[in-house]
Amino acid sequence: MDVFGQPLHVLYRDTHVFVRRGGGWKMVVWHYVEIPKDPVPIAVDARRFDDVVGEYAFGDRRYLVTRRGGKLFGARAGKAGSETELIPESETVFAVRGSEFRKIFVRDTSGRVTGIVDRRKGSDVLWTRVQTEKTSG
């Protein structure tokens, strides 16, 4: 597909459900969904990742942000296998690999990171920073 001279490549998954009625097949459900694509990461000085590393809270839930080398990762505390790479779209906006979610790090007037806006399909959840971690990497 071409939109004003720029190519768009979108992948969809289709599901059709048929039932047999009156001697023939009838479609009862047709469902399609866009398959999310990971954005191409932009170049960000990985030392800036240290600004966002730490623990964030939403109610009794915790989200941990860590840095390993030149990459940033996020995981729900106590939820094994939940770690995902955070792909930089800017110094404060990160895509969650394999989804259409975004993590937007919020800074106060002094530039200190105070929380994360967890944007999911147009709805925002605010996580408040509760702890800063030291990184090794």
Mean pLDDT score across all residues of the chain: 89
CATH code for the part of the protein at 46-132: 2.40.128.50
pTM for the predicted model, two decimal places? 0.74
Using only C-alpha atoms, the chain has a radius of gyration, in whole angstroms, of 20
Q: pLDDT grade, residue 134 (50/70/90)?
A: low
- Region 83-99: mean pLDDT is 91
Q: Of 36, 21, 41, 56, which Cα lies nearest the Cα of 93?
A: 41
SS (H, E, C) 45-65: CHHHHHHCCEEEEECCEEEEE
Predicted confidence at residue 136, as pLDDT, reads 47
Which residues in the chain are classed under CATH 2.40.128.50?
A: 46-132
Predicted confidence at residue 32, as pLDDT, reads 87
Residue range 32-55, pLDDT digits in tens: 888 878 888 888 888 888 999 999
Which of 14-18, 75-79, 116-120 has the lowest average pLDDT? 75-79
- Region 7-12: mean pLDDT is 83
- Region 94-105: mean pLDDT is 90
Predicted confidence at residue 39, as pLDDT, reads 85
pLDDT for residue 133 is more than 80: no
- Region 75-81: mean pLDDT is 86
